[in-house]
Structures are given as structure tokens and as C-alpha cells.
Amino acid sequence: GLLQFRNETLAPSQNALGRMAIALADTFNAQHRLGIDLNGAPGENFFSQAVPGVLANSRNSGSLNLSASFTDVVGLTTSDYRLDVKADLSYTVTRLSDSKVFSAADLAAAVPANSFDGLTLAFSGVAAGGDSFLIQPTRNGARDLSVQLSDPAKVAAASPIITGNAVANQGSGAISAGKVDAAYLATPLAATVTLTYNSATNTLSGFPDGSTPIYSAGQAITFNGITVTISGKPADGDTFTVGKNTGGLSDGSNALLLGALQNKKTMGNGSASFSDAYGQLVSTVGNKARQLQIANTAQTSLTTQIRGLQQSVSGVNQDEETANLLMYQQMYQANAKVIQTASTMFDAVLGISR
């Protein structure tokens, strides 16, 4: 029963909770790094993140050292894996939850090489036929999750860019608050970008790459990892600025994006959010607990019936035994009276003969 609980309930629940913790740390850290703190400095990692666990079989005879890293946390599953080295030193990886096998050819063809289900394997040393390794990608994810920031001033709640409309604009055009993605970190703004509208060509100019895209109200405009939208009808010569935010005061735009991660599909290959995964875990554990409660009630009733049948055949009934003892006592006393009467008669006979 304990082994069944460990294999069917405890380990899968630990893996599911660990996957949520790893995905939370990865996505939250990525978004946090895209913001700036109160001092205008780029955000740092907010959470620590676990690393996949790899356990070597104690009977391995080779010198192979196997390690694993996360390639894409969106593709992580809640399963453990086993790597087996064959006699010809090729290897396979088996997903233990459904026994799906990844061959050496499958792993070699993956991008990056030796990757599967959001993991990448790294090898060093020489394996021997029959060696095996247990890979636990998410088992310790929740255990190893911790907050790394202790200074509230380092919370990157603000966006690294700030947008604006020129005061002299004559049209109704308005630029939105911008967003940045990971590409922005490689090419952050060095100077303010001024976008100018040309009514004759219906284009915008001033982009760092020299492009002049056609203006369409409300259409997303992306450059250097920055995304903005301009709505309304600008007048000829109207300008819009995208500049570097030098301070995080009175700006919580990145904090809003961090909060929005709760319902973003960041798990299960884009099919589940943190809320979805947590709800599924709670439902699974709750259903299993209820199933075991019902089974326990049924088995307890069955055990009571069996015990009653057994006791009816070979058990001891105190009332019955007490009655038997009283009967034996009375029989003993009656026999004692018989012996006493015989002794008296024998004495009387002897007295007559004298």
C-alpha cells in the first residue's frame, strides 16, 4: 500500500507541483528581467530555479556522467525518465508515465541535439552496456523554489521604455505604452526614437533601421524588441517618441505584466496556465483521496463481516462460556453429593455389620 501510494500519488503530485514551480520561476524571472527597478536598473532573477535531477544506477560499470538542463519549460511533463545504455553503447530514453521511447536517432535529430520534452542531456565519460540513469526533471522543483530578492526597491515593476505624444501634434493620433520582449535586452535603446507621420505617403519614419512602414490605426509596430501601437488619425508632421525610462517611479506596467502571467498558457506545450495546472493537481489529489475514503469504508465493512463470520465459528462467546461453567459447576456439585451419599451409606453398612 505504501509503495502504491508513492508510485501512483505522491511522486506524480510532487512532479506536478515541481513543474509549476519551475515554470513560475522561469517565466516570472524572464518578465522581471524586462523591467527596471526604482533605481532605474534592469530587473534581476526574482526566484531561484531548480535543476533536473539525475540518479545513476549503483550497478553502473561505465564512467559516464549524465546531466540535464531545461531547454523549454513550456514542454515539460510531470513524468520521470530512464536512460538505458545498450550493448552497442547506443542509448534510449523512456518516458515512464506512458512508456514512450526516444531513440538515439530521435534525440540526435532534435533541436537542440539530445533534447526532448523541454530537457537537454549532456554526456561526459564513457558508458558501458547495461548502464542506466533515472532522470527526474521536476521532482525537486517546489523544494528548491525561493525568493532571491530581499530589497523591495529592486522589484522591477516599471517598463524600461516610456512613450509620448508631442505637445504640438495637431491630429488625434496617440501612442500606447510600449512593451518589450527578450530581444530588447540585446539592443536596448541608446537614444530616444522619434516617429514622424507623413500624410502624403501615410507612413511613419524615424525607425532605427531606416524603414518607413505604412500607418494603420491600432496596428502593432515592432522594432528592436519594442512593440507599440498608434491609434487615431495623426496629422502631417505629428511625432511620437519612444525613449528609455530612467526611473521606475509612478510606473507599474511591468508589474501588471507579471500579474498577467497567472492566466498565460505557459505550461503543457501552451495548453495550460498556472491556474489550470494547479486546479488540475487539486482535482486529481482530491479525487484520489475521495476514492480511497470510499474504498476504505467498503473494506472496513467487509472486514467486519468476515470477522463476524470467523467469530461465529471459532470465536469465544463470554455469555455462552459463562453458562457452560455454571452448568459444569452444578454437575460437579451434584456428583459430589452422590459421592457423599455413597460414603454415608457405606459407613452405615459397616456399622450394621459390627
pLDDT tens digits, residue range 21-41? 999 999 999 999 999 999 889
- pLDDT, residue 292, reads 86
Distances (CA, A) of 181 to 174, 188, 249, 266: 22, 11, 21, 15
Segment 177-193 mean pLDDT: 92
How far from the centroid of its chain's Cα atoms is residue 171's Cα? 50
pTM for the whole structure:
0.79
β-strand partners of 69: 120
Terminal CA-to-CA distance of the chain, rounded, Å?
86
Look at residue 30 in the predicted model and tell me its pLDDT.
95
What are the sequence ranges of the domains in the chain? 51-136, 161-244, 318-354
Buried b (16+ CB within 10 A) or exposed e, 336-345: eeeeeeeeee
- Whether the per-residue pLDDT at 354 is higher than 70: the answer is no
Cell 530588447 appears where? 184
3-state helix, strand, coil in the chain (%, to 5): 40, 20, 40
